[in-house]
Structure 1
Amino acid sequence: MADNSFDIVSKIDLQEVSNAIQQATKEIQTRFDLKDTKSEIKLEKDAIELHSSDEYKLKAVTDILQGKLVKRNVPLKGLTYGTIESAAGATVRQKITMQQGIPGEKAKEIVRVIKDSKKKAQASIQGDTVRVSSKDRDTLQEIIALIKNKDFGIDVQFTNYRSN
């Protein structure tokens, strides 16, 4: 029976996203080049919606938001940018979806990498997390290093580290 385990997750702290959006909104309202451009940022349940008067201003709003997110340690890998589409009143909008949880195919890829490493550890997919368990703590540390060094295209965090 494996005594030690940890979870691999991909989550974005929504409170930090909300704070970053508030800071970005303040900056948009005070910046000279963005005044009177109808630029705004809205936080929805699992997405961020950007509105602006044209694509160049929307790009500036995106840059401001990304800067604020980075300052608040929100991983940009967890954001998926939609296409820029025209909206009512000669404005444009863009939807940014936030990654919450590891998608199924990425979870399978993580499990495959762990199994291919030939380390004595078991990896199992549990919903939108991957649980890794082993008898040896050092093996778990090696697996964490292995996963950190490999790019899966998503941001991963290691939580729920348990050892007995």
Structure 2
Amino acid sequence: MAKEASFDIVSTVDLQEADNAYQQAARELTQRYDLRQTGATIEFSKKEGVFTISAPSEFVASQVIDVMGSKLARRQIDLAALRWDKPEPAAGSSVRQRGHLVQGIDQDTAKRIAKDIRDLKLKCKPTVEGDKLRVSSASRDALQEVISHLRDGDYGQPLQFTNYR
């Protein structure tokens, strides 16, 4: 009998690269002419994976989000991995906005991915294991087909395929 091949489906962000992008964005806030005197700030909690933007208006906050997005994209971090909350009023007339880095696959998305894999009618078995999925099959061709199908799908977050054996 053939040995089973498998791979894992995960959704992770390299926090060191996110921290580097944050440092570049913070530096650009102090140097860019249109943002220098606005009082806009950005903070990053590496432990929680949360960006916090404080700005005098929603427009300035959106400018800071654009700067942050360009720095993340330059560091090969998919922008779908960052979810921004709605702006909330802060002290005075300023606004505060938080962005959360998505780490791991939540249960609803994992079930949806597993259902999509089963709907392909291939001889493979998806298994939800915490915040990742493991897909196993006797046929490596079936696994390759699953990977290509999932790359075409949109699940609201970036997916990586690891531990292909």
TM-score (norm 2): 0.94
Q: Match for residue 91 of structure 1?
A: 94
Q: Match for residue 3 of structure 1?
A: 4
The amino acid across from 1:160 in the alignment is N
Deviation at 1:144, TM superposition (A): 0.2
Question: How big is each residue's C-alpha offset from its partner over 1:98-126, in whole Å with a ceiling of 9 and x where there is no partner?
Answer: 11100101000110011110101010000
The amino acid across from 2:30 in the alignment is Q
Q: Distance in 2 between matches of 1:68 and 1:136?
A: 40
Match of 1:11, SS state, is coil
In structure 2, runs of 5+ residues without a counterpart are: none
Q: Match for residue 131 of structure 1?
A: 134
The amino acid across from 1:132 in the alignment is V
Deviation at 1:2, TM superposition (A): 5.4
Q: Distance in 1 between matches of 2:132 and 2:104?
A: 6
Contact 1:79/1:98 (8 A) holds in 2: yes
In structure 1, runs of 5+ residues without a counterpart are: none
Q: Distance in 1 between matches of 2:142 and 2:94?
A: 54
Question: How big is each residue's C-alpha offset from its partner over 1:62-119, in whole Å with a ceiling of 9 and x where there is no partner?
Answer: 1000000000011111111101011124321101111110010100011001111010
Q: Distance in 2 between matches of 1:59 and 1:42?
A: 15
Match of 1:161, SS state, is coil
Q: Distance in 1 between matches of 2:20 and 2:54?
A: 18
Contact 1:69/1:75 (8 A) holds in 2: yes
Matching residue within 131, 143, 155 for 1:140: 143
Change (3 A) 1:2 1:94: farther
Q: Distance in 2 between matches of 1:58 and 1:89?
A: 15
The amino acid across from 2:11 in the alignment is S
TM-score (norm 1): 0.95
Q: Match for residue 62 of structure 1?
A: 65
The amino acid across from 2:69 in the alignment is Q
Match of 1:43, SS state, is strand
Question: How big is each residue's C-alpha offset from its partner over 1:20-76, in whole Å with a ceiling of 9 and x where there is no partner?
Answer: 000011111001111122211111212111111111111110100000000001111
Q: Which runs of 4+ in 1 moved over 2 A?
A: none
Question: How big is each residue's C-alpha offset from its partner over 1:116-162, in whole Å with a ceiling of 9 and x where there is no partner?
Answer: 10101010000000000111111111110011111112211101111
The amino acid across from 1:38 in the alignment is G
Quote the sequence identity (%): 41
**Aligned Cα RMSD in Å?**
1.2
